[in-house]
Chain A
Amino acid sequence: DTGVSQNPRHKITKRGQNVTFRCDPISEHNRLYWYRQTLGQGPEFLTYFQNEAQLEKSRLLSDRFSAERPKGSFSTLEIQRTEQGDSAMYLCASSRDIIEAFFGQGTRLTVV
C-alpha cells in the first residue's frame, strides 16, 4: 500500500493554458474522487468514478474541466483555458468501500 499518488505536486500556468493532473489511487480501490480546495475552505466534490465509469459530476465541474479514468486505474483531470479562479489545490481520493477514503497530497495549481 503506497498510498494515493498525485502528480505534479505544484503547477504554475499562464491564464488560457491547458493543464492536466494525474492521480494514481491505491491499487484495487474501485472508487475514485476528485475534490477542489481553495484557500480557507474545505474540499469541494468535483467528480466520482466507480471503476472506469464517471457516475457523478458536480455543477462546479464546468465544461472546461474533464476527467477520465481509463481501465479503472489511474485518473486524469484536465482543465482547458485556465482562469485565475481555477487556482486551488486539487485533491484525489480513493476507497474500496465506505470505511474511509484515502487522500493524496494534492496538486496545487496557480494560474498567473
Chain B
Amino acid sequence: AQSVTQLDSQVPVFEEAPVELRCNYSSSVSVYLFWYVQYPNQGLQLLLKYLSGSTLVKGINGFEAEFNKSQTSFHLRKPSVHISDTAEYFCAVSESSGTYKYIFGTGTRLKVLA
C-alpha cells in the first residue's frame, strides 16, 4: 500500500518570495507522482506529474518539483510566488499499473502575503 505525507499543513510566505512544499511518499512498488492545486470550492487542477525520465519536472504557473527516489520525496517549488498562488496543494501517488487510483496527502495550504 502507498501513503503520502505532506509535512506542512500551512505555509505562509510573502509575495515574490520562493516557496517549497514538502511531500514524502511510501510505496513498495513503482509509482507515479503528482501535484494538484485546489482553489476554494473548486475541483483539483494538475500542476505537474512525474512518470519517468528526468527527475526535475516543470509544471504550469512556474511550479517545478524534483523526484528523489532515495529520499522518497517529491517536493514542489516556485522561485517567486504571487498572491494568486494562495490555494491548497495536494501531493498524490498512484501505482504504475492497475487502476491508477490516487492516494493523496492531507494537503498544504499556501497563503501568500502582500
Contact = CB atoms under 8 A, between A and B. Distances in A.
B45 A103 contact: yes
Contact of B41 (A35, A102, A108): A108
Contacts, number: 60
Contacts of B32: 98
Interface in B62-114: 90, 92, 94, 96, 99-107
Interface stretch (A36-44, A64-72, A73-81): A36-44
Contacts of B25: none
Contact of B107 (A41, A55, A95, A103): A41
Counting chain A residues whose Cβ lies within 8 A of the other chain, the interface size class is 20 to 34
B99 A48 contact: yes
A42 B107 contact: yes
7 contacts: A42-B4, A42-B104, A42-B105, A45-B102, A101-B46, A101-B100, A103-B44
Interface of B: 4, 32, 34, 36, 41-46, 49, 51, 90, 92, 94, 96, 99-107
Interface of A: 4, 31, 33, 35, 40-45, 48, 50, 55-56, 91, 93, 95, 98-106, 108
